[in-house]
Amino acid sequence: MARLYESRKRILVTGGAGFLGSHLIDRLIGQGHEVLCVDNLFTGTKRNIDHLHNHPLFEFMRHDITMPLYVEVDEIYNLACPASPIHYQHDPIQTTKTSVHGAINMLGLAKRLRAKIFQASTSEVYGDPTVHPQSEDYWGNVNPIGPRSCYDEGKRCAETLFFDYHRQLGLPIKVVRIFNTYGPRMHHADGRVVSNFVVQALRGEPLTIYGDGSQTRSFCYVDDLIEGFLRLMDTDETVTGPINIGNPNEFTIRELAEKTVAKIGGAELITMPLPRDDPKQRRPDISKAKALLGWEPKVQLDEGLDRTIEYFRDFVGQMEEA
């Protein structure tokens, strides 16, 4: 979309080379904004942003947000943080630093610039929830000293910082709690369930169900999620969040495995031990997003899974050729 210079914003997206960040950047550039993508490439890849390499509205900067960042922008989306258990547990101290020091630096940047700032928080702030479905006023059931704590407590502390910068300094903030999201450009080896199952089935390997597969998740297709981000960012200053964004259609992990095998064929299902602190069920209450943003997901699992399979079919094919 062509846009007059006066209405064009300079937007910083941290974690922009990751799964969600790269889709967000595509939408922002599609709207005619200038994007500065800041990423240390820990879990993100240049492949996700390759198509933007020579785009006049796009700039990439390799940087770790636990370090101060001095740039001039109009808006900030803070997405930088490893998101899958394998990756965030690889270096848990760095994960907490990214969530907490990273948030402090990005909030300090926003404060200096008086810029609106968006935080990608997570349904993990609800921990292993005792309330179902989860609405934003539920405070969560989180283990502070377990293997998931670096991520869960890091994200909780980041939310605290966002709300304190808002209350104490009047900073305009937008906090979204993201529920399980899937789609093209998920990391093929980060252990998340949709990418694992699709890649396993495409390779004709057994699908690994952890536990008995009766635990549930609600899967949101990436395009729906990004639409929710943009709508939240567009709200007036009174809307801060936190707002759940996710798809309330809930499936057991076994159902997901069966659906994947039905689409790709061939593979068998095997069970493996359930990881510690693995939440038993998760489903967003999205009433707030519906009321405040007029948002609800449009792409259901069948269609989203087809699009994801198409992406991984190419990806797995290219990996096998290489």
Active site residues: 151
Q: Which is nearer to ligand UDP, 235 or 251 (CB)?
A: 251
* Cα 113 from chain centroid (whole Å): 25
User: Which residues in the 271-290 window bind ligand UDP by CB under 6 A?
Assistant: 274-275, 278
| Residue 74 lies near ligand UDP (rule: CB under 6 A) | no
Q: Which of 85, 102, 127, 183 binds ligand UDP (CB under 6 A)?
A: 85
Q: Choose between 81 and 253: whose C-beta lies nearer to ligand NAD.
A: 81
Q: Would you say 218 or 240 has its CB closer to ligand NAD?
A: 218
Residue pointed to by tokens 């899958």:
84
Quick one: DSSP state of residue 128? Answer: S
Please choose which of ligand UDP, ligand NAD, none residue 44 contacts, taking the beta carbon within 5 to 8 angstroms, the exact cut-off set by kind: ligand NAD
Instruction: Select the residue interacting with ligand UDP from 208, 235, 252, 281 (CB under 6 A).
Output: 208
Q: Which of residues 20-59 bind ligand UDP (CB under 6 A)?
A: none
DSSP sequence for 134-194: B-TT---B--TTSTTHHHHHHHHHHHHHHHHHHHHH---EEEEEE--EE-TT--TTS--HH
* Strand order across the 75-78 sheet: 58-62, 34-39, 10-14, 75-78, 116-122, 173-178, 243-245
Judged by CB under 6 A, the residue of 108, 140, 147, 206 near ligand UDP is 108
The alpha helices in the chain, defined as continuous H runs, are 19-30, 85-88, 92-113, 149-169, 193-202, 222-233, 253-264, 287-293, 301-321
Q: Of the two residues 116 and 192, which places its CB atom closer to ligand NAD in the complex?
A: 192
Q: Are strands 34-39 and 58-62 parallel, antiparallel or unpaired?
A: parallel
Spatial CA neighbour of 12 closest among 53, 72, 95: 72
In the set 100, 173, 176, 209, which binds ligand UDP (CB under 6 A)? Answer: 209
- Per CB under 6 A, contacts with ligand UDP among 117-176 are none
Given 210, 263, 281, 292, the residue binding ligand UDP (CB under 6 A): 210
CB under 5 to 8 A by kind: which of ligand UDP, ligand NAD, none does 125 bind?
none
> Closest distance between ligand NAD and the C-beta of residue 228, in Å?
12
In whole angstroms, the minimum distance from the beta carbon of 268 to ligand NAD comes to 27
**Which positions touch ligand NAD (CB under 6 A)?**
14-15, 17-21, 39-44, 64-66, 79-83, 98, 102, 120, 122, 178, 180-181, 187
Minimum CB separation of residue 4 from ligand UDP in Å reads 28
What DSSP line would sit under 240-251, residue for residue? ---EEES---EE
Residue 242, token pair as written in the block = 């936190």
Stretch that binds ligand UDP, among 35-43, 207-215, 234-242, 304-312 (CB under 6 A): 207-215
Label residue 168 exposed, middle or buried (CB < 10 Å: 0-12, 13-18, 19+): exposed
Query: Which entry of ligand UDP, ligand NAD, none binds 17, CB below 5 to 8 A by partner kind?
Result: ligand NAD
Nearer to ligand NAD, 23 or 166 (CB): 23
Q: Which long-range contacts (CB under 8 A, 24 or more apart) does 306-310 make?
A: 306/263, 307/183, 307/184, 307/221, 308/182, 308/183, 308/184, 308/186, 308/194, 308/195, 308/198, 309/198, 309/202, 309/260, 309/263, 309/264, 310/184
Residues that bind ligand UDP (CB under 6 A): 68-70, 84-85, 104-105, 107-109, 111-112, 180, 191-193, 196, 208-210, 215, 217, 253, 274-275, 278
